[in-house]
């Protein structure tokens, strides 16, 4: 089958999830209670919303990931042809990875990989 | 002999003779939808039971043994219980995103089924960029998790989602590099060609040491990517109650739970395909009689056997290693796994160019 199978799989996922949730809705007779709508926090009433600033460390790792993920995208076409092209492709990718690795070492030196 | 090999082509031929092409394609779509839903439900039931049984055996207990013979229908009873539970939405939550998140997680898990070869000639879509497709789609699952954690408006959920995001994107890199070693050895991104290249031996045996290193890195990385212990920081029960799905209940929780187990199955299936030869039987060099006997075992049994072996290994990890801290987790990836897998990729390129692999 071609690309249409992806649409079929998407339909299957939506039908499965929606079907399950709908069956639950039909079968269950819920009761209303104002406490049911509160966020779960081990019994204590919540103060302040969690939608705040979060640790900058996550952001740094996301940035580093972005660099290496783009690198990975460049490696895919290289990996397919490296056997045919031979030693030249290898030298080129060594230069590429070397430059990238220098950047990685710089980030490491600057303390981007340290979790504070 | 029962085998799945001929079924797909036979069904397709019959459909295209009987009906006009559009209708035949529509019927095929319906068959795919039904099969995928059946597979999801079946796998969910089997894997949850397997997890509990394996955990029980490792801890020298019996595990579930009341419902059905040997506790076989325990997960059916659990599912019925979950259906009967009320699905709550917190008042302060972002209602639209909160309800959308389980759908996204399920869609990603379902889309990943497309390029997996369950048996010889038994594949939904043999896409020519199969490996790239898998890494592209599997990186979407983090969106569903972040969405669930953010929309819940709960501190535990948000923390769990953040940790999960950092963890999944980090370990995706080394998983991708480990997969690339096999692409270098095969010279193709297509799943069927990767399997065909392993006819005279699986890559883990043929690829010398780099393939073994890549396999170990792949298993570690996918354990982290599926949020399994020892990397289960995102849903660490003892610190975050349940992580990103703390606020979910009823069927929506069940969907997250199911998607987690389906993801384990899928990554193990990919690992089995790339490193252990997919549905290829075990062949040893010139042992004609041995190879012939191995050919008699149906290809679907080979595939399922390898996949479930890897699933067992991942479940084994859970009861063997203690949970890591977030800084240890990120250190392991960025300071060890990533440089090792980059060097390993170069090494495998040398081996592939010089033709040192078998």
For chain A, give every domain's residue range: 55-116
Cβ distance B352 to A82 less than 8 Å, yes or no, reads yes
CB B248 within 8 A of CB B148: yes
Question: In the prediction, which pLDDT does B351 show?
Answer: 86
Query: Chain B interface, mutation test: which of A9, A49, A69, A108, most B Cβ atoms within 10 Å?
Result: A9
The SS3 call for residue B119 is strand
CB B203 within 8 A of CB B170: no
Matching residue, tokens 């990517």: B225
Query: Chain B interface, mutation test: which of A2, A4, A12, most B Cβ atoms within 10 Å?
Result: A12
Over residues A2-8, mean pLDDT: 82
Query: Which of B82, B76, B45, B100 has the alpha carbon at shortest distance from B265?
Result: B45
Residues of chain A in contact with residue B162, where contact means CB-CB under 8 angstroms, are 54-55, 58
Question: In the prediction, which pLDDT does A37 show?
Answer: 73
> Could you tell me if B152 lies within 8 Å of chain A, comparing CB atoms?
yes
Query: Residue A57 pLDDT more than 80?
Result: no
Mean pLDDT of chain A: 81
Task: Give the span between the Cα atoms of B211 and B204, in whole angstroms.
Answer: 5
Task: Give the span between the Cα atoms of B358 and B355, in whole angstroms.
Answer: 8
In 10 A of CB B236, how many CB atoms? 20
Ranges of residues in chain B whose predicted pLDDT is under 70:
1-5, 236-237, 357-358
Mean pLDDT of chain B: 84
- Which of B91, B107, B157 lies at the smallest CB-CB distance from A10? B107
- Give the helix ranges, DSSP H, for chain B: 7-18, 21-58, 74-83, 95-111, 130-138, 141-151, 155-186, 191-196, 203-206, 208-225, 237-240, 250-275, 288-295, 299-318, 326-331, 338-354
> Could you tell me if B169 lies within 8 Å of chain A, comparing CB atoms?
yes
Question: In the prediction, which pLDDT does B1 show?
Answer: 42
| Whole-complex ipTM | 0.85
Question: In the prediction, which pLDDT does B218 show?
Answer: 92
Q: Which residues contact B154 (CB under 8 A, 6 or more apart)?
A: A39, A40, A41, A50, B90, B246, B247
- Angle of CA points B320, B268, B163, to nearest 5°: 65
CA dihedral B342, B212, B261, A64 (to 10 degrees): -10
The minimum CA-CA distance between B292 and chain A, rounded to whole Å, is 31
Phi-psi domain of B201 (left: phi exceeds 0; alpha: psi -120 through 50; beta: other): left
How large a percentage of chain A has pLDDT more than 70?
A: 97
Q: Is B22 exposed, middle or buried (0-12, 13-18, 19+ CB in 10 A)?
A: exposed
Cβ distance B176 to A90 less than 8 Å, yes or no, reads no
CB B139 within 8 A of CB B104: no
Matching residue, tokens 């690992």: B271
Cβ distance B331 to A30 less than 8 Å, yes or no, reads no
- Which of B87, B156, B166 lies at the smallest CB-CB distance from A21? B87
Global pTM reads 0.89
Residues of chain A in contact with residue B84, where contact means CB-CB under 8 angstroms, are 24, 27-28
């Amino acid at each position: 089958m071609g690309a249409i199978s992806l649409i079929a799989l998407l339909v299957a996922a939506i039908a499965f999830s929606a079907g399950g949730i709908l069956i639950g809705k039909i079968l269950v007779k819920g009761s209303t209670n104002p406490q049911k709508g509160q966020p779960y926090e081990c019994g204590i009433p919540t103060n302040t919303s969690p939608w705040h600033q979060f640790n900058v460390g996550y952001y740094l790792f996301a940035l580093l990931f972005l660099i290496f993920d783009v690198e990975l995208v460049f490696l895919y076409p290289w990996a397919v042809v490296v056997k045919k092209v031979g030693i030249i492709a290898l030298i080129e990718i060594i230069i590429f990875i070397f430059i990238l690795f220098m950047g990685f070492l710089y980030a490491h030196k600057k303390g981007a990989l340290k979790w504070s | 002999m029962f085998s799945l090999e001929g079924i797909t082509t036979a069904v397709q031929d019959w459909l295209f003779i009987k009906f006009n092409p559009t209708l035949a394609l529509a019927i095929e779509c319906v068959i795919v939808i039904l099969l995928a839903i059946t597979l999801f439900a079946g796998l969910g039931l089997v894997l949850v039971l397997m997890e509990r049984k394996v955990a029980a055996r490792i801890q020298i207990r019996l595990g579930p043994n009341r419902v059905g013979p040997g506790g076989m229908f325990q997960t059916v009873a659990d599912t019925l219980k979950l259906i009967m539970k009320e699905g709550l939405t917190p008042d302060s939550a972002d209602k639209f995103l909160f309800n959308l998140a389980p759908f996204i997680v399920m869609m990603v898990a379902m889309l990943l089924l497309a390029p997996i070869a369950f048996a010889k000639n038994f594949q939904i879509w043999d896409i020519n960029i199969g490996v790239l497709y898998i890494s592209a789609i599997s990186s979407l699952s983090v969106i569903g998790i972040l969405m669930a954690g953010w929309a819940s408006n709960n501190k535990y959920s948000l923390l769990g989602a953040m940790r999960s995001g950092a963890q999944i994107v980090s370990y995706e890199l080394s998983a991708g590099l480990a997969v690339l070693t096999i692409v270098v050895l095969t010279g193709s991104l297509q799943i069927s060609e990767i399997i065909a290249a392993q006819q005279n031996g699986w890559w883990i045996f043929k690829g010398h040491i780099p393939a073994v290193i890549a396999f170990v890195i792949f298993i570690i990385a996918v354990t982290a990517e599926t949020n399994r212990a020892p990397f289960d920081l995102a849903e660490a029960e003892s610190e975050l109650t349940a992580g990103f799905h703390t606020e979910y209940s009823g069927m929506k929780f069940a969907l997250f739970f199911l998607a987690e187990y389906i993801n384990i199955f899928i990554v193990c299936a990919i690992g089995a395909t790339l490193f252990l030869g997919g549905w290829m039987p075990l062949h040893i060099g010139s042992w004609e009689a041995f190879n012939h006997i191995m050919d008699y075992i149906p290809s679907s049994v080979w595939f399922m056997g390898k996949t479930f072996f890897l699933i067992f290994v991942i479940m084994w990890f859970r009861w063997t290693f203690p949970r890591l801290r977030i800084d240890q987790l990120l250190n392991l990836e960025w300071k060890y796994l990533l440089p090792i897998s980059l060097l390993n990729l170069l090494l495998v390129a040398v081996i592939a160019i010089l033709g040192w692999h078998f």
